Amino acid sequence: MNKIRISLMAATLVPLLGLAEAAHADIYTYGLSAGGSGAQTATLTIDTAAGTGTVIGSAINAAFTGNFSSFTGGATPTQSMFNINMPATSTITAGGVTYYANQGHQQMLEVFSNSINLWSYWGSAACPSCAQQGDQVFGLSGSYSHTPAGGSSGGTAVPEPGMLGLMGLGAAAMAFRRRRGIVPTLMPRVAFA
């Protein structure tokens, strides 16, 4: 009988403990700026739940998909790199020429505490003599907002489901100790004939 109870407790606890990862289901928005005399501005948006993102601004219109479940967010995000996929319709404009995301080159989003790098090559079929454009690097301008998925900006953060695992572990420990007679019983035992 004890083996059955231990097996049932283990079957209940293992899935709960597997939920100990922090929940990331949020939309992060950052203001971006590029230096130089022709300074351009843009906005980076990352939706960790949908696995989508955009960099949209005065000279860029890029959309991408990727796995952003480990993105930490915050006004100064932790350095991280994400493999992404940008459709060929993503564009940048330089010197009056429109360039499109090169599908033959690996695409990445590199996030640093003070900048982002949309890592790709960009080409223009309309201007074969134009050299391909490289990475697009922007500084984080300090403008930042965070919206929990399905909530409003500044709302309550998504709770961590790992608490369920901790509660289950505590209940199992109490049941185990009670069974071994270490903790006195709170209710009198009833003998059945």
Return the pLDDT at 176: 61
**Amino acid making up residue 50:** A
Token output for 63: 């959309």
* Per-domain residue ranges of the chain: 2-20+160-179, 26-148
* pLDDT at res. 151: 57
**3-state helix/strand/coil string of 44-93:** EEEECCCCEEEEEECCEEEEEEECCCCCCCCCCCCCEEEEEECCCCCEEE
User: In this structure, are residues 91 and 75 in contact, taking their beta carbons and an 8 Å threshold?
Assistant: no
For residue 142, the model assigns a pLDDT of 87
Position 154 scores a pLDDT of 45
Q: What is the pLDDT along the chain (193 residues), one digit of tens a residue?
A: 555 555 545 555 444 444 444 444 699 999 999 865 456 899 999 999 999 999 999 899 999 999 999 998 999 999 999 999 999 999 999 889 999 999 989 999 999 999 999 999 999 989 989 999 999 999 998 899 999 866 554 443 444 445 556 566 666 666 666 666 555 555 556 666 5
pLDDT of residue 34: 84
pLDDT of residue 125: 87
| H helix runs in the chain, sequence order | 2-17, 162-179
Diameter over CA atoms, the chain:
96
**What pLDDT score does 87 carry?**
96
Q: Which of 144, 25, 24 is nearest to 77 (CA)?
A: 144
- The pLDDT, as a whole number, for residue 19 is 43
Q: Which two tokens stand for residue 158?
A: 């998504």
**pLDDT in the model for residue 55:** 96
Query: For position 155, what pLDDT does the model report?
Result: 40
Q: Residue 24: name the closest of 80, 94, 98, 93 by CA.
A: 80
Q: Where are the beta strands (DSSP E) in 95-159?
A: 97-101, 108-111, 115-119, 122-123, 136-148
Q: Is the dihedral of CA 160, 162, 165, 169 positive or negative?
A: negative
pLDDT of residue 18: 46
Cα–Cα distance measured from residue 152 to residue 162, given in angstroms and rounded to the nearest whole number: 24
- Kindly calculate the radius of gyration of the chain based on its CA atoms and give it in whole angstroms: 26
